[in-house]
Amino acid sequence: MASPPTSLVFKVHRNEPELISPAKPVPRELKLLSDIDDQEGLRFHIPVIQLYRYNPSMKGKDPAKVVKEALAKALVFYYPFAGRLREGPGRKLTVDCNGEGILFVEGDADVSIEEFGEALHPPFPCLEELIFDVPGSSAVLNSPLILVQVTRLRCGGFILALRLNHTMADAPGLVQFMSAVGEMARGATVPSLQPVWHRHVLFARDPPHVTRTHREYDEVPDTKGTIIPLDEMAHRSFFFGPTEISAIRRFVPPHLRNCSTFEILTACLWRLRTIALRPDPEEEMRIICIINARGKSNSPIPKGYYGNAFAFPVAVASAKELRDNPLGFALEKVREVKAGVDGEYMKSVADLMVVKGRPHFTVVRSYLVSDVTRAGFGEMDLGWGMPAYGGPAKGGVGAIPGVASFYIPLKNNKGEEGILVPLCLPAPAMERFEKQLGGMLKDQNTSSSSLIISAL
Which residues are catalytic, by number?
Answer: 166, 381
User: In the Cβ-directed half-sphere of 2, how many Cα atoms lie within 13 Å?
Assistant: 11
The answer to whether 218 and 293 have CB atoms below 8 angstroms apart is no
Q: Is 276 exposed, middle or buried (0-12, 13-18, 19+ CB in 10 A)?
A: buried
Q: Which of 32, 34, 27 is nearest to 358 (CA)?
A: 34
Neighbours of 261 (CB within 10 A): 17
- Which candidate, 456, 454, 392, 396, places its Cα nearest to that of 131? 392
The count of residues in the chain is: 456
Checking 344-348 for CB contacts under 8 A at 24+ apart, the result is: 344/211, 344/212, 344/298, 345/212, 345/293, 345/311, 345/313, 346/36, 346/202, 346/293, 346/299, 346/300, 346/309, 346/311, 347/202, 347/204, 347/205, 347/211, 347/300, 348/209, 348/210, 348/211, 348/212, 348/214
CA distance 413 to 417: 10
Helix (H) or strand (E) holding 74: helix 63-77
